[in-house]
Structure 1
Amino acid sequence: MKKHHKVSASLHRAACRCRSSAKQRTVRVIVRFTGAASKRHASSLKRKLDQGNHHFKEKAHLQLIGSWAAHVSPACLKTICSHRSVAKIMLDRKNRINLNVATPAVGAASVRSRGTNGRGVTVAVLDTGVAPHPDLTKPNNRIIAFKDFVNNRTKPYDDNGHGTHVSGDVAGNGYSSKGKYRGTAPGARIVGVKVLDQQGSGYDSTIIKGIEWCVKNRKRLGIRILNLSLGKQALENYSNDPLCQAVSKAVRSGLVVTVSAGNDGPAKGSIDSPGITPLAITVGATNDRNTIRESDDQIADFSSRGPAKGGGVKPDLVAPGTNIISLRADSSELDRTLPGNRVGKRYFRLSGTSFSSPITAGSAALLLQQNSRLTPSQIKRLLQRNAYSLKQSVRAQGAGELNMRFAASKARSRNQSTKGKTR
């Protein structure tokens, strides 16, 4: 099978495997169109495929990135490539969770002591869901919305447990531990967006639909931050990766997007997609050795290293990601398979860059409470310029370890200088 220039390398390999398989008839693809009229182009393409009696099944229209997701037979690819409005055909790849006394270590406690706790800021967690844990629902319910792109359920739940832990890293208030285990922004609100299944995996197209929903509902729900503690091996440059394109669109719409770097370290060039997206805040993991001193912190061995696919500088910074205690989703997949990780009745211990990212998302919520005028790029600069250097290479630590003591003071001073000005 000869490769067409519109077909990504990963899709070409998948189509070749499909042709030689006795069981697999189709591959999952994302077709990117030229111009803005992607719905019209998709309708035109479907008519062309129907006329050729090709085997395909439409999955979703991805308006955010001007694309169309479908299951198609390898024979369809030639017809799709011949359509003049098709710019690129990419494999709809599967992502997974990046699973392998954090908040004091990044200086969040000193910020909270001055009355800043993320109140009024909404963080959307795109993950395996969120369970209605008391640390998020008492004394007031701060899970303000829930959207399920996997099973279409309406009430918050988490059949894996990962998303609940991540949500607690952002906004757990320590209700069940009398304040002992709290997230970075215990006053922030959570929007749970389930894009990963019970096993902690989900396709690009499903995650993109989740991002698209957040962008559309950002003003209605007050969403300012998205957290993506998920990823896959980066096989394409960010410009040819549909999930990276969606992340870029979200940032350009005004949303801060924090992404886990991945758990494929210490290999060079192991940053996951969508962490390779330049506009995202990509976060690696440190081991804080259970102390609040930065001087003894180390880059976690599992934390993915840069550079990003295509040569960009990543990660952007690092944050604690080893033995993080957060919320337990009772009877979830992780709860059943890792019973030794339970901490008391309500909490759970996990490691991975999955948890470094929401700690950073919570930190962004603290900055936005102090100064709601901050843009995604300004927040990224504040976090990077005030990070604590661990004296490691840029490809390991990025700008350094998250340090909210200095970043928060800079946000306050910026707020004073912009008072009275319009956006």
Structure 2
Amino acid sequence: MSNNKLCPVLNAKIMAQSIEEVPVIIQLNENNRNLIKNVSNLSSKVKADLPLIGGIAGNMSTDIIYRLSTTPEVDYISFDSNVYALLDVATPTMEAYFPHEKGYDGNGISVAVIDTGVAPHDDLVKPTNRIISFMDFVNNKEKPYDDNGHGTHVAGIIAGNGYSSRGKYVGIAPKSNIIGIKALDENGGGSTSDIIAALSYCIEMKDKYNIKIINLSLGTPATHNPEKDPLVKAVEKCVEAGIIVVTAAGNSGPSARTILSPGISKEVITVGAVDDKRTIDPSDDTIAPFSSRGPTPEGLQKPDLVAPGVNINSISHSKLDSYTSLSGTSMATPLVSGSLALLLNKHTNLSPKEFKSMLTNACMPLNEDKESQGYGMLNLRVLFNSKDDPAEQEPIKSNILGLSDDTLETVIMLLVVLFLLDSRI
């Protein structure tokens, strides 16, 4: 018979009478934080105190794990599972130029990128260094670096200013600041406990560095009830503290119910990926086959929205003036984080819940079901077209083809050019 205080992985090991030692996260009841020391004494290796979720991470034998699970002071014990990492076309597809033209560029807003690190690419440090803080939970190094490249790519999608490409590859919020937090190793993997420690750091430093957004282009299979899931509990503490959390849906599609944790949380903004077919016109966009689908195991509609995530150009960690292309919901997520940095230039005192509502109301539905796209693809023209007085809003005109007038005008001009070229041949 399974123990409801143990995650499925630990239940399986104990039912199989395994005698191995495994990494675990123990969550204690709120009134029993004083037991941390006693629990620590039972661990062969204490990895971290996790006050954010009232817990501790360490290595324990399965017999001790079972005994602890029978004590009333222990709320839940989970396997310290592995977490893994999951612009020239993507930016115009979302119409990012629209808020830029209105003067919104993310200036002064800090985005925490919890990932494989952030390399000091020219697009982030020239002419001004915008990597304003760096924390390393893997190798304890002090200076910014990235031995994988995933985190650097993500940071460039958010905040790259196009310095090395003469403006060709520009991130969504090119004047925003980056808080680089390395919690994933050179292979793009890490532990749940390290991600929780990184989230705790964000709360601790949010006022010092003006951290408004946390980008989590990572995830782990959702094997826990959200009320017990340590990652979900940690991100929801961040939201409580007033930080917007944006997380990847996962790359486990096209099967249903494949949303990763912490994307299963109702409080975070969960982002799926669109294949924009390398065109600016969104009429041919489809959900990328790899993008995880909802609903969550509890029936919650996820993802919340989608953004381009196929062949996204951004900065490279290997050569600090070069670019590379990657695909995944990891790439779609920072497009949304960057959009929020722009929005925070316009609205300074809204709650994470209100920001989330603004985003979902600014989505353009694709010809897909809600389990794949949520509310649809984020469109920044729609997001920034709203004014305080609804009567002053500029309507987005459409025509019989369902295109905006700007898009239709571009299509007509291209057809005219093609006709003229064909006439000259």
TM-score calculated relative to the size of structure 2: 0.88
SS of corresponding position for 1:19: coil
Q: What's the CA shift for 1:234?
A: 1.1
In 2, are the aligned partners of 1:294 and 1:388 still within 8 Å (CA)? no
Q: Mark the CA change 1:381 to 1:79 in structure 2 (over 3 Å): closer, same or farther.
A: same
Aligned to 1:45: 39
1:244 is matched with 232
In structure 2, the CA distance between the partners of 1:240 and 1:137, relative to structure 1 (3 Å rule), is: same
Alpha-carbon distance in structure 2 between the residues aligned to 1:304 and 1:111: 29
1:383 alignment counterpart: 359
Equivalent residue of 1:75, what SS? helix
Q: CA RMSD in A?
A: 1.8
* Cα distance in 1, alignment partners of residues 160 and 95 from structure 2: 16
CA displacement at 1:413 relative to structure 2: 5.7
2:324 pairs with 1:348? yes
Match of 2:350 in 1: 374
Determine if contact 1:236/1:309 at 8 Å carries over to the other structure: no
Within 1, Cα distance between the matches of 2:67 and 2:331? 43
Specify the alignment match of 1:420 in structure 2. Answer: none
Do residues 30 (structure 1) and 29 (structure 2) align?
no
CA 359–317 in structure 1, closer or farther in 2 if over 3 Å, else same: same
Q: Is the 8 A contact 1:30 1:92 kept in 2?
A: yes
Identify the match of residue 198 of structure 1 among 170, 183, 186: 186
Partner of 2:380: 404
CA shift, 1:37, in A, is: 4.7
Q: Which runs of 5+ in 2 are unaligned?
A: 393-425
Cα distance, 1:67–1:270 mapped onto 2, change above 3 Å: same
Letter in structure 2 aligned against 1:12 = N
The alignment's TM-score, normalised by the length of structure 1, stands at 0.89
Quote how far apart the aligned CAs of 1:3 are.
3.4
* CA radius of gyration, larger in: 2
Distance 1:261 1:385, change over 3 A: same
Q: What stretches of structure 1 move > 2 A for 4+ residues in a row?
A: 2-5, 13-18, 44-47, 409-414
Aligned match for 2:83, one of 92, 95, 101: 95
Size of the aligned set, in residue pairs, is: 389
Do 2:203 and 2:241's aligned partners in 1 also have CA atoms closer than 8 Å?
A: yes
Instruction: Tell me how far 1:171 sits from its aligned partner.
Output: 0.5
1:17 to 1:192, Cα distance in 2 relative to 1, 3 A: farther
CA distance in 1, matches of 2:35, 2:77: 14
Q: Which residue of 1 aligns with 2:280?
A: 292
Q: Percent identity?
A: 44
Report the 3-state secondary structure (helix = DSSP H, G, I; strand = E; otherwise coil) of the residue aligned with 1:4: coil
Kept in 1: contact 2:217–2:329 (CA 8 A): yes
What residue is the counterpart of 2:418 in the other structure? Answer: none
Contact 2:14 2:66 (8 Å CA) reproduced: no
Amino acid at match of 1:192: G
Letter of the aligned partner of 2:264 in structure 1? I
Which residue of 2 is the match for residue 336 of structure 1? none
The structural deviation recorded for 1:45 is 2.7
Shift of 1:16: 5.4
- Which residue of the partner structure matches residue 11 of structure 1? 10
CA distance in 1 between counterparts of 2:219 and 2:158 reads 19
Q: 1:379-422 CA distances to partner (integer Å, 9 max, x unpaired)?
A: 111110110000311100000001111112337669x9xxxxxx
Residue 218 in structure 1 maps to residue 213 in structure 2 = no
Equivalent position to 2:259, from 271, 280, 286: 271
Query: What amino acid sits opposite 2:68 in the alignment?
Result: I
Distance in 1 (alpha carbons) for counterparts of 2:387 and 2:61: 53
Distance 2:387 2:217 in 1: 25
Q: After superposition, give the CA deviation of every residue in 1:313-345 in whole Å (9 maximum; x if it has no partner).
A: 10000000000000101179xxxxxxxxxxxx6
1:15 CA drift (Å): 4.7
Pair 1:212–1:411, CA change in 2 (3 A): farther
Q: How far apart, in 2, do the equivalents of 1:110 and 1:357 lie?
A: 20
Contact 1:127 1:196 in 2 (8 A): yes
Distance in 2 separating the partners of 1:322 and 1:141: 29
Please state how far the C-alpha of 1:35 moved relative to its aligned partner. 1.4
Is contact 1:134–1:175 with CA below 8 Å preserved after alignment?
Answer: yes
Q: CA deviation at 1:103?
A: 1.1
112 and 318 in structure 1: CA distance in 2 versus 1, 3 angstrom threshold: same
Per-residue deviation, 1:373: 1.1
In 2, the alpha carbon distance for the partners of 1:43 and 1:105 equals: 53
Shift of 1:78: 2.7
Alignment of 1:286-325 (within 5 A): 286-325=274-313
Question: 8 Å contact 1:18–1:27 — kept in the other structure?
Answer: no
Partner AA of 1:317 in structure 2: L
What letter matches 1:298 in structure 2?
T
Select which of 169, 178, 192 maps to 1:181: 169
**C-alpha separation in 2, matches of 1:289 and 1:226:** 28
Query: Once the two structures are superposed, what CA deviation does each residue of 1:293-323 show, in whole Å capped at 9, x if it has no partner?
Result: 2211111111000001211110000000000
| Corresponding letter in the other structure for 1:360 | V
The answer (yes or no) to whether the contact 1:173–1:179 under 8 Å persists in 2 is: yes
Q: What does residue 340 of structure 1 align with?
A: none
